[in-house]
Amino acid sequence: MITFILFVNFLLRAIDRFLGKGLDLLTILEYLFLNLAWILALSVPMAVLLATLMTFGRLSEDNEINAMRASGIGFLTIMRAPILFGIIITTILIYFNNFILPEMNFKARLLSGDIYRKRPDMSIEPGIFLDNLPDYSMIVGEKSNDGTMKEVRIFSKGNKNAQTSIHANSGKLNTLEDAFLLTLYDGEIHELGQKDYTNYRRIIFDKHVINIPAKDLLLNRRDSTNRSDREMTVPMIQKKINSYEKRLDIVYKRLSGNFFRTIGDSTLPLSLLEGKEIIEKAMQRVKGQDSLSVAQRIKKEKRIKNLERQLNNEFNLIKSYKKSQNKYGVEIHKKFSIPVACILFVLLGAPLGVMSKKGGFAISTGLSFGFFLIYYVLLISGEEMADRSFLSPAIGMWSPNLIILLISIYLLINTVRENAPIGIKLPSFFKKTKK
């Protein structure tokens, strides 16, 4: 149900990409199937929370929990099977997020780009101008079932030197791998110069062939090795992070060498502010050296000013590298933190269901969507802050899980101690009318 809701929402937003493109049904189904991957990655944790809430809410509502407790079965013993279920789902989802999801995201992005670049399909209807050809406009009088066109008229466009119009009694259109081949029979070509109207040519032909490039009229399936962070497996991301680490080492060594050559101190500043303070002190020392001539002082001051410009450039580069490094680090942690949330949602949903004593669909859906919304907002906020280097990727991605864990432990303790249940009342329109 959750997958269906998310899928319909995606379909309504994406349907305009298919309109007027002349795509075959298999291509459309492939695009929708490939986008199911990220939908499943979101819907599975939500479904685990909803299922746990409904299960334990119904058990509590039917007094099955009390019956099991009266038989000597503790609540933590009851939780063993659901926790095992959560661990199995987490393991499957970790594998899915690491190997299947990146590949499907990658193929979905390529196909989406190919669909976006594809021009509307070349469907020829009698009496209607066809204007989506690269260099021509065309209109036909009749069209037979075998594809033969009658009274074909073609007009050039985009040519600033001459205007060309072609009239043929009949013609046929064939599709090549990357072009359309238009074969015309028994007609005339008229060419009129745009700059000099006295420049006119009339050509009569029995057969004339026009090759029309159609790279954008056909759906070209590309292949690419460039992947975004959400299209990479953990080894790929780790390799990318290591490459940025090497780049940072090169920048640090270059910066340290510049400091040593300019001011004789190879101490690497930890921040831009610290580097400017070192440069300012060096500038003051140069100005205070009376033994230097005017030319020597100007030369040294110029070198120090160049060092300051290099410092700004290098720290901008460091900031950019670290931001990219954090972005990839966030994606690694997210591949594990969201699946692990399935176990936490089991720990959260079980005591919530018992304490609410409601196993109905409405109340379970409301609670599950409410808590998942809180979790998702925290996750997005943590990702944004980690991307901007305000937090480390680990803290940004695991803080929502920690908050859910603390809430779950609190509710579990209350449930094990058999504290009074939380009173949750349904709105009046959810209640059944009693006769």
Q: Which of 185, 213, 241 is the last residue of a domain?
A: 213
Q: Any idea what the Cα angle at residue 398 is, between residues 317 and 370, rounded to 5°?
A: 120
Predicted confidence band of residue 114 (pLDDT cuts 50, 70, 90): confident
Whole-number Å distance between alpha carbons of 243 and 145: 60
Query: 54 near 62, Cβ under 8 Å?
Result: no
- In this structure, are 316 and 342 located in the same domain? no
pLDDT for 122: 53
Whole-number Å distance between alpha carbons of 216 and 222: 12
Alpha-carbon distance values, 102 to 159, 231, 253 (Å): 45, 4, 35
DSSP-derived secondary structure letter, 175: E
Dihedral (CA of 69, 73, 77, 80) sign: negative
Tokens read off for 60:
């509590």
pLDDT for 260: 84
Read off the pLDDT of each residue in 384-411 and give the average, rounded to a whole number. 92
Q: Which of 10-24, 74-88, 294-308 has the lowest mean pLDDT?
A: 10-24
Residue 428 included in any domain:
no
Whole-number Å distance between alpha carbons of 303 and 280: 13
Of 120, 85, 15, nearest to 343 by C-alpha is: 85
Q: Is the pLDDT of residue 94 over 90?
A: yes
| Biggest distance spanned by C-alpha atoms of the chain | 107
- Listing from the earlier edge strand, what are the strands of the sheet with 179-193? 136-143, 149-156, 162-175, 179-193, 200-213
Predicted confidence band of residue 378 (pLDDT cuts 50, 70, 90): very high
- Whose tokens are 């037979």? That residue is 144
Q: What SS3 string covers 237-256?
A: HHHHHHHHHHHHHHHHHHHH
Q: Which of 327, 361, 385 is the last residue of a domain?
A: 327
From its phi and psi, is residue 289 left (phi > 0), alpha (psi between -120 and 50) or beta?
A: beta
Residue 123 included in any domain:
no
- In this structure, are 190 and 237 located in the same domain? no
Whole-number Å distance between alpha carbons of 322 and 340: 27
Q: 181: which residues sit within 8 A by CB, 6+ positions away?
A: 173, 174, 175, 209, 210, 211, 212
pLDDT for 116: 66
Q: Which of 150, 179, 213 is the last residue of a domain?
A: 213
Predicted confidence band of residue 23 (pLDDT cuts 50, 70, 90): confident
- In this structure, are 190 and 236 located in the same domain? no
Q: Strand locations in 284-424, DSSP E?
A: none
Q: Is the pLDDT of residue 339 over 60?
A: yes
Predicted confidence band of residue 429 (pLDDT cuts 50, 70, 90): very low
Domain count, the chain: 3
What percentage of the chain carries pLDDT values higher than 90?
Answer: 34
Residue 427 included in any domain:
no
Size of the chain in residues: 435
- In this structure, are 27 and 108 located in the same domain? yes
Out of 97-101, 229-233, 278-282, 362-366, the most confident range is: 97-101
Of 237, 56, 407, nearest to 245 by C-alpha is: 237
Q: Which residue has the higher pLDDT, 419 or 200?
A: 200
- In this structure, are 248 and 350 located in the same domain? no
Residue 26 included in any domain:
yes
- In this structure, are 311 and 348 located in the same domain? no
Residue 277 included in any domain:
yes
Q: Which domain holds residue 283?
A: 232-327
- In this structure, are 202 and 152 located in the same domain? yes
Read off the pLDDT of each residue in 229-242 and give the average, rounded to a whole number. 91
pLDDT for 421: 44
- In this structure, are 320 and 335 located in the same domain? no
Q: Is the pLDDT of residue 81 over 90?
A: yes
Residue 280 included in any domain:
yes
Tokens read off for 34:
């490939």
Whole-number Å distance between alpha carbons of 35 and 115: 14
Query: 48 near 86, Cβ under 8 Å?
Result: yes
Q: Is the pLDDT of residue 21 over 80?
A: no
Query: 65 near 56, Cβ under 8 Å?
Result: yes
pLDDT for 200: 82
Q: Is the pLDDT of residue 216 over 70?
A: no
Residue 219 included in any domain:
no
- In this structure, are 167 and 238 located in the same domain? no
Whole-number Å distance between alpha carbons of 164 and 319: 57
- DSSP, collapsed to helix, strand or coil, labels residue 268 as coil
Whole-prediction pTM: 0.69
- In this structure, are 270 and 374 located in the same domain? no
Whole-number Å distance between alpha carbons of 294 and 318: 36
Predicted confidence band of residue 87 (pLDDT cuts 50, 70, 90): very high
Which helix H or strand E contains 183, and what residues bound it?
Answer: strand 179-193
Read off the pLDDT of each residue in 363-376 and give the average, rounded to a whole number. 86
pLDDT for 102: 94
Find the radius of gyration of the CA atoms of the chain.
35
Dihedral (CA of 252, 255, 260, 265) sign: negative
- In this structure, are 298 and 385 located in the same domain? no
338, burial (CB in 10 Å: exposed 0-12, middle 13-18, buried 19+): buried
- In this structure, are 305 and 336 located in the same domain? no
Residue 365 included in any domain:
yes
Provide the 10 A C-beta neighbour count for residue 305: 13
CA dihedral 230, 231, 236, 240 (to 10 degrees): -60
168, burial (CB in 10 Å: exposed 0-12, middle 13-18, buried 19+): buried
The gap from C-alpha 183 to its chain's centroid, in whole angstroms, comes to: 45
